[in-house]
Amino acid sequence: MDLELIITSFPKLLGATVITLKLLSASLFFGLILGLFFAILRLNKNKLVRGFAYGYSYVFRGTPLLVQIFIIYFGLGQIEYLRTTFLWVILKEPYWCAIIAFSLNTGAYTSEILRSAFETIKPGIVEAGRSLGLNKMFIFSKIQIPIAIKQSLPAYGNEIILMLKGTSLASTVTLLDITGVAKFIISTTFRPIEVFIVAGSIYLFITFLVHNLIKYLEKKYRYQ
Amino acid sequence: MKLKKIILSVFASLFLFSSTLSADTIRIATEGAYPPWNSKSEDGKLIGFEVELANWLCIYMERDCKIVEQDWDGMIPALRMRKYDAIMAGMSITDERKKVITFSQGYADEVASLAVMKGSDLEGMDTPEGINLSLGGKDVKAALKTITGALAGKTVCTQTGTIHQNFLESGDVGSVDVRTYKTQDEVNLDLSAGRCDAALAAAVAFTDYAEKSGKDVVLVGPTFSGGHFGNGVGVGLRQEAQFGSDSALGQRDAQLLKDFNKAIDQARKAGKISELATKWFGFDASM
């Protein structure tokens, strides 16, 4: 054990935490929008719309995140036509490729979490709203969505933690997140154990914060 | 009962097939992703200059060898953990690496070069054909200045943990935006995709890629050697002091260094290194 290396690598890895948190928050933001959108599609009466939403969730939950990020970063980069379009401005940057891959992935899981939450809402609650003369849109946004969010908090907290660890794959497309910087330090010191222990501890600490935040929210939004 | 038997026999066969190497087999690690030094054929076999040279060195040493594959970024740590006994992976002999491992004498010379896509504004850089950073002097300084000017604000891609990365980050060519990749394949992909303005690696790595992919990758600027680029490519081995010079393990490591040096002498004298280098590189890169 090289204690000095642990101490000197800590501030460098802490600096990289900013990139990790940026990737995480951007992916969760876009993923939540995607997830809500596709969860609503899953509840649609039209078979085709439902099938499309199911297909999306099936593909992105059924393939490894690493494969998805490689297809988006290295795969799309090989299509010459794409490089002449405005899309290349975004796809050229590893940062945006990572966010696209992460958002699509977490969006798929989030849509499943929200769908099952919507399905647990008892029909009686919606009927009660209707009998009060509330319109469909109002019932959905003010009754169904809040209940669904409460229902899905524990599962969604889990998804945040999974996504946090997923961001480490950003290092495979040249980004210097926590794992990327850890690999960089190892490439000059050749000491993986010390550096990965520090990197692992930082992930653990973020997980600790996320876990407690979700616990707090669960308590706050518990049914009175 | 039948199912139990099947499961048991599957597990038993898994254990049987997992390596049954004798203690005196030398395990040599290579990356298998840095053609023409070492790579993999279409059916997944390890091939290349170093794979063939390794087999010849083992013949000269009269020892059994097994060539194993290892990702580049874990190459040195895994050697130190005794996962294998030697590295032959286009690894240049540098002072930085000598702090943690030792090297045999060099067996081949590697020159590095920048590469760009045809039509890049970096083409036609006015520099000498090759510069040796260890020699220094006016020409080298002038060339580095030209390169510094040309690369300012550009993204230069290279493989993680290489001499090329060390050079780009040394400040010799100013502060370029360095992007690092796990393998040379990925560097090549992003160079041709246009994400990198230039890339730095062994010159042969680019010419090999240009030839095989048909992409318009061209070398620009001088070829680099010396300084951060080390003193040729050698066999990476454990320092005898790592496990204690008096211990059995330490002594075995020390003996291995002697054996490799002797075998390289023999291979060189027999013209084997030149022959293999010419076969894989198209020119005699032996040393």
Name the residue of chain B whose CA is nearest to A81's CA.
B193
pTM, whole model, 2 decimals? 0.87
Residue contact A190–B179, C-beta within 8 A: no
Give the CA angle between residues B101, B104, B109 to the nearest 5°.
110
Residue contact B189–A172, C-beta within 8 A: no
Helix (H, G, I), strand (E, B), or coil: what is residue B34? Answer: strand
Give the largest CA-CA distance in chain B.
82
Other beta carbons less than 10 A from residue A187's beta carbon: 18
- Give this complex's ipTM: 0.83
Other beta carbons less than 10 A from residue B43's beta carbon: 6
Q: pLDDT for B188-211, tens place per residue? A: 999 999 999 999 999 999 999 999
Other beta carbons less than 10 A from residue B151's beta carbon: 23
Distance CA B132, CA B159 (A): 21
Residue contact B179–A172, C-beta within 8 A: no
Give the mutation candidate from A174, A176, A191 for the B interface (greatest B CB count, under 10 A): A174
Name the residue of chain A whose CA is nearest to B157's CA.
A174
Cβ B36 vs Cβ B208: under 8 Å:
yes
Residue contact A92–B73, C-beta within 8 A: no
Cβ B228 vs Cβ B166: under 8 Å:
yes
Name the residue among A83, A188, A191 with its Cβ closest to that of B194. A83
Q: Give B182 to chain A, closest Cα distance, Å.
A: 7
Per-residue pLDDT, B176: 93
DSSP conformation letters of A163-203: HHHHGGGGGGGT--SHHHHHHHHHHHH--HHHHHHHHHHHH
Q: How far is CA B142 from the centre of its chain?
A: 29
Q: Which residues contact A215 (CB under 8 A, 6 or more apart)?
A: A157
B195 exposed, middle or buried (CB, 10 Å; 0-12, 13-18, 19+)? Answer: buried
Give the mutation candidate from A66, A187, A189 for the B interface (greatest B CB count, under 10 A): A187
Instruction: Decide if pLDDT at A223 tops 70.
Output: no
- CB contacts of B76 in chain A (<8 Å) are 190
Confidence of residue B12 (pLDDT cuts 50, 70, 90): low
Dihedral of alpha carbons A168, A170, A171, A172, sign: positive
Cβ B232 vs Cβ B108: under 8 Å:
yes
Residue contact B77–A192, C-beta within 8 A: yes
Give the mutation candidate from B87, B191, B195 for the A interface (greatest A CB count, under 10 A): B195
- In the block, tokens 């653990």 appear at A204
- CB contacts of B167 in chain A (<8 Å) are none
Q: Residue ranges of the alpha helices (H) in A43-144? A: 47-62, 65-70, 76-77, 87-91, 94-120, 123-131, 136-139
List the end-to-end C-alpha distance of chain B, in Å, as a whole number: 63
Q: Give A14 to chain B, closest Cα distance, Å.
A: 20
Q: Give A29 to chain B, closest Cα distance, Å.
A: 27
Residue B38, beta-bridge partner list: B34
Name the residue among A92, A94, A190 with its Cβ closest to that of B77. A190
Of B172, B198, B159, B114, give the one whose Cα is nearest residue A187. Answer: B159
Q: pLDDT for A29-81, tens place per residue? A: 999 999 999 999 999 999 999 999 999 999 999 999 999 999 999 999 999 89
Q: pLDDT for B87-141, tens place per residue? A: 999 999 999 999 999 999 999 998 999 999 999 999 988 889 999 999 888 989 9
Distance CA B274, CA B267 (A): 9
Q: What is the DSSP code (8-state) at residue B7?
A: H
Instruction: Decide if pLDDT at B16 tops 60.
Output: no
- Which of the residue ranges A108-117, B9-18, B43-52 would you say has the lowest mean pLDDT? B9-18
- Computed on alpha carbons and rounded to an integer, the radius of gyration of chain B in Å comes to 21
Per-residue pLDDT, A145: 87
Q: Which domains are assigned to chain A?
A: 3-220 (1.10.3720.10)
- CB contacts of B74 in chain A (<8 Å) are 192
Of A108, A91, A133, A85, give the one whose Cα is nearest residue A31. Answer: A108
Residue contact A192–B74, C-beta within 8 A: yes
A-B Cβ pairs (cutoff 8 Å, strict): 48
- CB contacts of B182 in chain A (<8 Å) are 172
Of A41, A67, A73, give the one whose Cα is nearest residue A56. Answer: A41
Residue contact A78–B189, C-beta within 8 A: yes
- CB contacts of A190 in chain B (<8 Å) are 76-77, 80, 97, 100-101
Distance CA A145, CA A35 (A): 13
Q: How far is CA A102 from the centre of its chain?
A: 6
φ, ψ dihedrals at B130, nearest 5° = -150, 145
Helix axis angle, A3-42 to A94-120, nearest 10°: 50
Of B184, B140, B193, B131, give the one whose Cα is nearest residue B162. Answer: B184
Distance CA B201, CA B207 (A): 11
Per-residue pLDDT, B90: 95
Q: pLDDT for A164-195, tens place per residue? A: 999 999 999 999 999 999 999 998 888 999 99
Q: pLDDT for A113-154, tens place per residue? A: 999 999 999 999 999 999 999 998 999 888 888 888 888 999
Residue contact B194–A92, C-beta within 8 A: yes
